Chains A and B, each alone.
Chain A
Amino acid sequence: MGALNTLKDVVNFLTNPPIFITLMAVTFFLLIGRRAFWRPRIGLVVGVVAAIFVALSTLDPNFRLIVGKPDNIPIVAMLFLVGFFLFISMSQAYNNDERIARGEPPIEGSPKEAEKTWVWPDLVYTEMLCMVIGIIILVIWGIVFKAPIEEPANPSRTPNPSKAPWYFLGLQEMLVYFDPWLAGVVLPSLIIVGLMAIPYLDTNPKGNGYFTFRERRVEITLFLFGFVILWVLLVMLGTFLRGPNWNFFGPYEYWDLHKLLALNNVNLSEYVWVKMLHANISGMNMFVRELPGILLVLFYVGVLPGLLAHSRREVKLPGGARVNIGLRKYYEKMGPWRYSVFVMLVLAMFSLPIKMVLRWLFNLKYIIAMPEIFFNI
């Protein structure tokens, strides 16, 4: 019993957002470039281990309470589906890379696959089968799990926690780090704009119509980091690990309404003026007070893109992938317009992990804090 509890404590500890997100992000960058990892066999092992973990965890009442909610079942399924398809796509990609390295076409371009076949019966029957399986799953799912209905709507009683629908919980999780105008409006809009811009920014003609990693390293790494870590992972975190007052609760922890967490987040202006310069900021002009933050943000969006366009530094990630920290190559390939849009979108995406790390390490609340005009970053 004692050992089991210790194990649970360890898991509760490891799922703490700073540790959890960092672990996952580091694992992602370590593994994405490793051919040996992306094999169906290893995928199977990972899947089975995860399934055993979930199955055993359901013995814990607190885990059951949150994971067993009918609305949360699909999110558990999503975890496995995303993992499954990650392995499917990455292992096909690496297989194709090996074929291409041998001078063969990717499997999709092999003579056997490039041949044409009849839609009836080959495609029509596959579609039929998918539909039948789909119907069966839905009916069984519908019989086993009742659709939830809670108490009638009561505008005067706010449940704690109040959560958005599950697919928006990644955005709600961003509210921890950014104000609503960024987390709820600007960043989601940029996600949509960014997705739409992908075909116009990616000028690499290779890798069109087949799985490959080698030919599209940076594209795939960026996209998967956004999709798997910043989207799917945050949805999971928001769903399973956020309880009353949006406090963190480990998977085996009881959702205690009165869990108190010391919140002593500090704005950048306080760090600079009060802690470093021992000045009094209470009567200060807003723009003077926030000058350090304003300069920092202007540097991030105004100067950094130019510096990056100029430099050609390259770093080697532990996974073997090389990443150009200097983006001169891209600037030359993409031209000023494409490059500017691309870099702004990437910087917007990385503003989230950057703000996360600043919060975890320095308790930094806002880089620019102008509550007077609702402008906090």
Chain B
Amino acid sequence: MATAKPPQPFLSRTWDYITETQIWRSIFRHGMPANNRNRVLVVMSNVFLHLHPVKIRKSGIRLKFTWCMGGLTFFLFLVETFTGLLLMFYYRPTVAYAYMDIIDLAEQVPLGIMREIHRWGAHAMVITVWLHMFRVFMTGSYKPPREFNWNVGVILLVLTLLLSFTGYLLPWDQLAIWAITVGSNMARATPVLGHEGPGSQLLALGDVKMVHAGSDARFALLGGRFVGEGALLRFYVLHCVGIPLVAGILMAVHFWRVRKDGGISGPL
């Protein structure tokens, strides 16, 4: 007499059924990562996880070592991309609409905390990227062979600040335009290229100045002599497309280099 199999609980029967279907098996090519073979497979066959190696030094994943700051920065970048996309549904970058669209966003859109998350996420990202740099410095992780990746990092740091700076203008309120005015006024004083910068007088044809308020570095930044329609459009395009694109590509390079330089640094 064959012993009857004990009845399986409902959940585990359902689970077995689902994981046997052709749909499931077409997506996940291997079982749960509970044994070493599957642990290798899950990291190698998943496009997101394959950013990681399969095995890693213990010291490299200790929170006290990395503070997870690079990871958090990347995570915040993703949060900003997602919430920013939602905000783009409601926001039109013109002087006539921009401010009202932001007001509407707060008053009309149900459960709207996207703008809040986007703004606080941006502040947080600036802080985490500083702290990440701080950590990398303190562990000496910029030393060979990681010099180049440190440099990629510095550019990412600048891009993070520029992302935040261009976004600051978009609500088109007093806070926004005056912060950008103060910030962009600096460009006026760029040596040689700003019309109030030292050396700008040198660029002149006879009496005709080549660097003036309508042609200097600040003008190029703002697309006008003051923070107006041109600046709003420029900042919008840079904020939503230009800088994220470059930053995204550089992040890919950054992660690739972390791997190629031997993973998270550790004593030799």
Contacts and interface: CB of A to CB of B under 8 A. Distances in A.
A157 interface: yes
A109 B197 contact: no
Given A118-B54, A180-B188, A374-B200, A208 B179 contact: no
Given A149-B173, A168-B183, A209 B268 contact: yes
Interface stretch (A18-26, A76-84, A295-303): A76-84
A257 interface: no
A92 B64 contact: yes
Interface string A204-240: 1111111110001000100100010000100000000
B68 interface: yes
A119 B43 contact: yes
Interface stretch (A48-56, A125-133, A247-255, A271-279): A125-133
Interface in A80-97: 81-82, 85, 88-89, 92-93
Contact of B227 (A152, A155, A210): A155
Contacts of B116: 141-143, 145-147
B57 A180 contact: no
Interface residues of A, number: 94
Interface in B125-178: 126-127, 130-131, 133-135, 137-144, 146-147, 150-151, 154, 157-158, 161, 164-165, 168, 171-178
B242 interface: no
Given A118-B36, A130-B72, A199-B147, A74 B141 contact: no
Contact of A120 (B33, B134, B172, B198): B33
A326 to B, nearest CB: 25
Given A163-B179, A164-B182, A373 B198 contact: yes
Main secondary structure of the interface of B (DSSP, over half): helix
B106 A209 contact: no
A180 B186 contact: yes
Contact of B76 (A82, A112, A134): A134
A77 B39 contact: no
A181 interface: yes
A10 interface: no
Contacts of A157: 174
Interface in B82-121: 95, 99, 102-103, 106, 113, 115-121
A227 B57 CA distance: 29
A108 B56 contact: no
Nearest to B142: A199
Contacts of B120: 74, 138, 141-142, 145, 147
Interface string A96-123: 0000000001111100111111111111
A148 interface: yes
B203 interface: no
Contacts, number: 273
Contacts of B199: 373, 375
Of B117, B123, B197, most A-chain CB atoms within 10 Å: B123
A374 B176 contact: no
B96 to A, nearest CB: 11
24 contacts: A82-B131, A89-B138, A107-B59, A109-B59, A116-B56, A117-B56, A118-B36, A118-B54, A120-B39, A127-B68, A138-B117, A147-B119, A180-B189, A180-B196, A196-B150, A199-B144, A208-B144, A209-B265, A211-B138, A212-B140, A216-B140, A232-B130, A373-B199, A374-B196
Interface of B: 33, 36, 39, 42-43, 49, 52-59, 61-65, 67-68, 71-72, 75-76, 79, 95, 99, 102-103, 106, 113, 115-121, 123-124, 126-127, 130-131, 133-135, 137-144, 146-147, 150-151, 154, 157-158, 161, 164-165, 168, 171-179, 181-183, 185-191, 194, 196-201, 226-228, 265-268
Given A146-B116, A209-B139, A374-B189, 8 more contacts: A74-B123, A85-B67, A120-B39, A122-B61, A138-B117, A151-B174, A199-B142, A211-B138
Interface of A: 71, 74, 77-78, 81-82, 85, 88-89, 92-93, 105-109, 112-124, 126-127, 130-131, 134-135, 138-139, 141-143, 145-155, 157-159, 162-168, 171-172, 179-181, 183-186, 192, 195-196, 198-200, 202, 204-212, 216, 220, 223, 227, 232, 373-375
